[in-house]
Chains A and B, each alone.
Chain A
Amino acid sequence: ELKVEQNPLFLSMQEGKNYTIYCNYSTTSDRLYWYRQDPGKSLESLFVLLSNGAVKQEGRLMASLDTKARLSTLHITAAVHDLSATYFCAVGETSGSRLTFGEGTQLTVNP
Chain B
Amino acid sequence: DADVTQTPRNRITKTGKRIMLECSQTKGHDRMYWYRQDPGLGLRLIYYSFDVKDINKGEISDGYSVSRQAQAKFSLSLESAIPNQTALYFCATSDFLAGGPVDYNEQFFGPGTRLTVL
Also in contact, A101 and B105, with CB within 8 A (given A42-B90, A42-B112, A43-B90):
no
Interface check B64, CB cutoff 8 A: no
Also in contact, A103 and B40, with CB within 8 A (given A43-B109, A51-B101, A96-B103):
yes
CB pair B41 A98 closer than 8 Å: no
Interface check A50, CB cutoff 8 A: yes
**A-contacting residues, B41-56, CB 8 Å:** 41-45, 48, 50
In the complex formed, the residue of A with least CB distance to B44 is A101
Also in contact, A31 and B105, with CB within 8 A (given A9-B40, A103-B42):
yes
In the complex formed, the residue of B with least CB distance to A92 is B105
- How many contacting A-B pairs (Cβ < 8 A)? 65
- Chain B, interface residues (CB within 8 Å), range: 20 to 34
How close is B34's CB to chain A, nearest CB, in angstroms?
12
CB pair A42 B104 closer than 8 Å: no
**B-contacting residues, A64-111, CB 8 Å:** 88, 90, 92, 96-104
User: How far, in angstroms, from A101 to B40 measured CA to CA in the complex?
Assistant: 11
CB pair A98 B48 closer than 8 Å: yes
Q: What are the residues of chain B within 8 A of A50 when measuring CB–CB?
A: 99-100, 102, 104
User: How far, in angstroms, from A100 to B60 measured CA to CA in the complex?
Assistant: 13
User: How far, in angstroms, from A48 to B105 measured CA to CA in the complex?
Assistant: 9
B31, B103, B108, B111: residue with the most chain A Cβ atoms closer than 10 Å: B103
Interface check B15, CB cutoff 8 A: no
How close is A53's CB to chain B, nearest CB, in angstroms?
13
**A-contacting residues, B8-60, CB 8 Å:** 31, 40-45, 48, 50, 58
CB pair B105 A96 closer than 8 Å: yes
Also in contact, A97 and B50, with CB within 8 A (given A42-B109, A42-B110, A92-B105):
yes
In the complex formed, the residue of B with least CB distance to A100 is B45
Interface check B1, CB cutoff 8 A: no
Interface check B106, CB cutoff 8 A: yes
B90, B102, B110: residue with the most chain A Cβ atoms closer than 10 Å: B102
CB pair A101 B102 closer than 8 Å: no
- Taking Cβ atoms with an 8 Å cutoff, the residues of A that contact B are 4, 9, 30-31, 33, 35, 41-45, 48, 50-51, 88, 90, 92, 96-104
